[in-house]
Amino acid sequence: MEIKKMTCILCPLGCRMEVSIEKNKIIRIEGNSCPRGEMYARQEVEAPSRIVISVVKCRDCNLPVISVKTEKPVPKERIREVIDSLAEVEVEPPVNVGDIIVEDVAGTGVNVIATRSAERI
Amino acid sequence: MKAESSSKMKSRTYDMAVIGGGAAGLAGAVKAAELGMDVVVLESGERIGGIPMQCIHPGFGNFYYGENLTGPEFSERLIEKVKLTGIKCYTHAHVEGIRHVSDTENMVSVVMPAGITQIRAKTILYAAGARERHAYEIGITGDRVSGVYTAGEAQTLMDIYGIMPGKSVVIIGSGDIGLIMARRFALEGADVKAVVEMLPYPGGLQRNVVQCLEDFGIPLLTSHMVTRIVGKKRVERVILAEVDESFRAIKNSEKEIDCDTVALAAGLVPNIGKLREADIDIDSSTKGPVVNEYMETSLPGIFVAGNALAINDYVDYAAEQGEQAAIGAHLFIEGNMPSDWKPIRKGENIRLVFPHHISGGRDVKIYARVKKPVRDAVVEFPEIDKRVRKRAVMPGEMIIVNLKKQETAGIDELTLRCADGN
Ligand SMILES: Cc1cc2nc3c(=O)[nH]c(=O)nc-3n(C[C@H](O)[C@H](O)[C@H](O)COP(=O)(O)OP(=O)(O)OC[C@H]3O[C@@H](n4cnc5c(N)ncnc54)[C@H](O)[C@@H]3O)c2cc1C
Ligand code: SF4
């Protein structure tokens, strides 16, 4: 049996929880003060995911880089790959907020979109 | 944006001059324009949008737009509105002084590419944001080396100009800004050695402690203080010590951390220099002006909103305050500003509370911070039996209490307190 420690982030109380896991299955969750904590713990153990943010180069733009984000959360263990694959990307103006910058980034099935606009200089 | 000839600006009297084109200023300008006021926005930077333009992480707009946006997305939405309403915005327009000539006339002196210009306005919305505290303000000594940045400077380099400030980083301060910068450095491949915090607990939201530090295995050193920055040309290491309850360094607790960059996230202070000269009342706990529910300062017709009023956790609050100020400015011009104000006082465990005065004539939102964390807290106004229960309150997280008009009718004053609910 494995015990995972985590802090619930759903309210300022920040309950410290211990999740007992056996054969990839959650068998016990302790330390949460309300049911939302249990929900959070399941999500964090079974499919932890995050929105990834970064910047990409922008050629001939009024700004050297523009900011981007993944349209949806990507699995936590793929964050590094997503960031690395963005290092090579260069866009050209005009860019509008919401434009798709990379489709299906690093094979995650998630698009990377622009979060700021840019014009040609 | 094109500059109008200075003589034309001089002869015109605006209903409202907005100083600072950030979240608070733009939201206020849009609201004022919607109310039919003649508005001008004066922004010292290259572009309008304010600080969120360089905060590329999500966490903006949850309340204001009901959506979780990144900083630039939040600001660009406001900018879109500004464009649609046709509000006049001057960039590279740095306000260097405000003169309250009379209760219906203010002169704003602006340094612009076209020269120094005087702008006349019936009301002012001062929304110049905050400034970052520097190393000397938090007692750090040592060599004058390169590689020491405020969090904001580091953020501008990375997220506006695409330049990495360094490879191995120590962050000072565990407020949300420090935590967010730690993640930002880690995401771009820097080795974040530690986040150092003087208090025994992190200053920022739990969400940020988990997603910015724990996700990346970044150590958080609470009850620690960086005492010295060491290096020849560039930062080479920092010296830190453990501190006791009164923040004095504990003997023989010193240690060193090697790093080439120090990012200071030592807190923000309302940027009110220009208002101080205008001689308004300041609250020593918010470090911003004393205001009524319309965010009007002690000088009639001069309003303040956003981080210039008090350091806000969320951009949403800054935008809301800007809107309240616009509504107030509109009332003021129409001669309908209430004149009877009731004070809101600080009671048990309340570090700050604003607005400082309310009319009792409409619904108002009260913003406050506690001194100490409390579990199972009761936040209350005992005079009117108003009680809000919270699972936990933290100094780093603002408390919001919405007061209804009928709850405050007929009161003389109110005291906010926060006690243990057990
Ligand atoms: C690193 C960081 C992370 C943050 N993360 C979040 C988050 O996740 N979620 C969230 O909701 N909020 C977040 N915030 C807070 C949010 O950015 C602020 O609450 C908000 O920007 C305050 O708005 P403002 O209009 O008061 O100030 P600002 O946005 O700072 O705008 C002030 C403007 O005034 C201009 N100005 C200053 N002086 C003058 C002058 N003399 N003349 C003319 N113009 C002047 C400045 O150039 C600036 O454009 C974060 C802040 C920082 C620094
Ligand atoms: S478990 Fe419930 S009470 Fe505890 S932090 Fe999570 S949401 Fe808050």
- Which pLDDT tens digit goes with each residue over B353-388? 999 999 999 999 999 999 998 989 999 999 999 999
| Residues in Cβ contact with B296 at an 8 Å cutoff, skipping those fewer than 6 apart | B302, B303, B325, B328, B332, B337
Question: Does B323 contact chain A (CB < 8 Å)?
Answer: no
Of B266, B285, B310, which one is at a domain's C-terminal end?
A: B266
Q: How far apart are CA B277 and CA B296, in angstroms?
A: 17
Residues of chain B positioned with their CB less than 8 A from the CB of A67: 56, 70, 72, 159
Whether B220 contacts B250, CB under 8 Å: no
Using one digit for the tens of pLDDT, what is the confidence trace for B167-195?
A: 999 999 999 999 999 999 999 999 999 99
In one-letter notation, the amino acid at residue B46 is E
Question: Collapsing DSSP states into helix, strand and coil, what is residue B31?
Answer: helix
Whether B140 contacts B232, CB under 8 Å: no
Q: Which of A23-27, B6-10, B237-241, B363-367 is the least confident region?
A: B6-10
Using one digit for the tens of pLDDT, what is the confidence trace for B210-241?
A: 999 999 999 999 999 999 999 999 999 999 99
Please state the pTM of the whole predicted model. 0.93
Angle at alpha carbon of residue B160, lines to B30 and B78, rounded to 5°: 10
* Long-range contacts, stretch B389-394, CB < 8 angstroms, 24+ apart: B389/B421, B390/A12, B391/A11, B391/A12, B391/A13, B391/A33, B391/A34, B392/A11, B392/A12, B392/A13, B392/A14, B393/A12, B393/B418, B394/A12, B394/B201, B394/B370
One domain for residues B357 and B414: yes
Q: What is the pLDDT of residue B10?
A: 56
Closest partner CB to A69 (pick from B58, B161, B205): B58
B342 membership: H or E segment, kind and range: strand B342-346
Q: Using 50, 70 and 90 to split pLDDT, how confident is the model at A121?
A: confident
CATH of residue B175's domain is 3.50.50.60
Its sign, for the CA torsion A73, A75, A79, A81, is negative
Of B223, B251, B266, which one is at a domain's C-terminal end?
A: B266
Q: Which of B138, B207, B153, B198 is nearest to B174 (CA)?
A: B198
Q: Which atom of ligand 1 is nearest to the CA of B265?
A: 1
Would strands A112-114 and A100-102 be described as parallel, antiparallel, or unpaired?
antiparallel
Pocket test for ligand 2, best of A6, A36, A38 (most atoms within 8 A of CB): A36
**Superfamily of structural domain A53-114:** CPE0013-like (3.10.530.10)
One domain for residues B257 and B200: yes
Q: What is the pLDDT of residue B282?
A: 96
Using one digit for the tens of pLDDT, what is the confidence trace for A57-114?
A: 999 998 899 999 999 999 999 999 999 999 999 999 999 999 999 999 999 999 999 9
Residues 38 to 67 of A: which have CB under 8 A from any B CB?
Answer: 50-55, 57, 63-65, 67
- Total tally of structural domains belonging to chain B: 3
Domain hosting B187: range is: 134-266
Of B337, B370, B392, which one is at a domain's C-terminal end?
A: B337
Say how many C-beta atoms besides its own lie within 10 A of residue B248's C-beta: 10
What are the structure tokens assigned to B113, written together?
A: 């590419």
Residue whose CA lies nearest to ligand 2 atom number 3: A33
Q: Which of B82-86, B259-263, B330-334, B389-393 is the least confident region?
A: B389-393
pLDDT at B2 > cutoff 50: no
B369 membership: H or E segment, kind and range: strand B364-370
Q: What is the pLDDT of residue B207?
A: 86
Residue B381, sorted as left (phi over 0), alpha (psi -120 to 50) or beta, turns out to be beta
Tell me how far the alpha carbon of residue B99 is from its chain's centroid: 24
Q: What is the pLDDT of residue B1?
A: 45
What are the structure tokens assigned to A4, written together?
A: 């995972």
DSSP code of residue B292: B
Report the chain A residue with the minimal C-alpha distance to residue B75: A116
Give the CA distances from residue B322 to residues B100, B138, B177, B221, B243, in Å, rounded to whole numbers and listed in that order.
Answer: 20, 31, 22, 37, 40
One domain for residues B24 and B99: yes
Whether B268 contacts B307, CB under 8 Å: yes
Q: How far apart are CA B223 and CA B96, in angstroms?
A: 40
DSSP code of residue B2: P
One domain for residues B174 and B209: yes
One domain for residues B112 and B4: yes
What are the structure tokens assigned to B208, written together?
A: 């940020």
Q: Using 50, 70 and 90 to split pLDDT, how confident is the model at B11?
A: confident
Decide if A52 and B392 are in contact by the 8 Å CB cutoff: no
Decide if A7 and B188 are in contact by the 8 Å CB cutoff: no
Residues 74 to 103 of A: which have CB under 8 A from any B CB?
Answer: 76, 79, 83, 97
Name the residue with tokens 């936040």.
B379
Q: Give the residue-averaged pLDDT of B394-405.
A: 92
Q: Identify any residues that bridge with A114 across adjacent strands, giving them in sequence order.
A: A68
Using one digit for the tens of pLDDT, what is the confidence trace for B130-147?
A: 999 987 788 787 888 999
Segments of B232-312 assigned E as strands: 235-242, 255-258, 261-264, 268-270, 302-304
Question: Does B205 contact chain A (CB < 8 Å)?
Answer: yes
One domain for residues B192 and B46: no
Segments of B39-104 assigned E as strands: 39-42, 58-60, 69-70, 88-90, 94-102
Domain ranges (residues) in chain A: 2-46, 53-114
Q: How far apart are CA B334 and CA B144, in angstroms?
A: 55
